[in-house]
Structure 1
Amino acid sequence: MNDDDYFAEVAGVLAAGGVPAAQIEATVEDLRAHLAETGASPEEEFGPAARFAARLGGRAPEPDGPDEAAEHWTWTADLFNDRRMLAVHGAQGWEVESLDPLGRFVCRRTPGTALRWEYRREVVAGRRRARVEDELTPEGWELCGEWLVYGYFKRPAAATAGPAGALAAPPAAPRQWLFLSRRGKAALAVWVLLTGGATSAFFVGGLGAPGFALAVALFSSLLGVWTASLETAAGRERRAGAE
């Protein structure tokens, strides 16, 4: 990213946060003058543009900051549907703060300062984590939660959409909290049948407690491996398409 693109992104985030145009112009001029003295690139000196702009005065909500007016909402989706629902809810101004121990998305939204959010999911198991973070951090992506082998990343939509990333009138919080796809419902049904069979064997067929625990763990692990393999295959297809 060259200097002009970097400062255009900074200006877009600041504008989306309601910073006056004159103040944005003066800020960018000061930053350019500072870089002229140091000889550094903007990313080296300030970090990712969207995050830096939020610190300067963009109105992206700070996840750890107290805000009594903020709305809070927790929801979940299966691995076939989570990215689609993250896109839908991110467009409504919901920022994922974390994933809880059950794998639910813990979100918040601040009325009057809400921004649209972009999300992506990546496999971050093992050595892949460092490579993924190195690729995404310069583009303004921030890790906001993990589940199984997956990492979920977020960034304000203003990083790519500029002022259009601001949300003037967010809709009411959804009453629904569970969003399952057809494949997710099918996988859940299979898991229930298999674990139900293991439970019956435990009580009727003499399957001991260790065997029962092993069976449930095995079924769950197989389901996780299956979904991870689908994610890996999808990643290969995306890379092939990009080439």
Structure 2
Amino acid sequence: MRLDKLTTAFQQALADGQSAAVARDNPYVEPAHVLAAMLAQPDGPKSLLDRAGANTAGLKVAMDGLVAGLPQVQGGGQVSGSRDLVQVLQQAEKEAGKRGDQFVASEMFLVALADSKTDIGGVVRGHGPTRKALEAAIDAVRGGATVDSAEAEGQREALKKYTLDLTERARKGKLDPVIGRDDEIRRTIQVLQQAEKEAGKRGDQFVASEMFLVALADSKTD
């Protein structure tokens, strides 16, 4: 697999996983290193896993435990990808191809892990995210888009920071209901209209906040 065909976020997770393997004197970079690195990323796939119903806290503990139990070789120096990691990466590339992606994103690594027959695949599935649930979460997050640039993941996370996912808020019951609030909405409009009138009397071009407060006070005495 060509590393330049991975998204920047995925490349960073692999680099962080490699650094963790070197720091712990592990001879190979394992899938557990990479997934642990992804879970530690501030804008990583944790939110996607949450959407898929995963127990991300438990999954992180499990990955840390797997990494802690890996064999160590003092003075090993260079590390390489394990057979399991190579297999999962190859499967992730295939999954990306099925979706028409030009770059392999982190979520394809998660799908490959959830479908893997390796030991770590069983651990991942044991903490909730099935392939079906992950695919549904990916479809919801992508909204039909494909990964056509190395920065696609970062752009998606940046967009999420400055927009509201109304579907997700509705699913969690966090949207304020509009139906049944006709009187409240009508009164708010009346207050704004009265504030505009007060501003007009004073020759103000804009409705100042004090005019709104005056109108609001008058409405409460009606």
Q: Report if TM-score (shorter chain) is over 0.5.
A: no
TM-score (norm 1): 0.24
Q: Relative to total residues, which structure has the larger helix share, 1 or 2?
A: 2
TM-score of the pair, normalised by structure 2? 0.26
Q: Which structure has more strand as a fraction of its residues?
A: 1
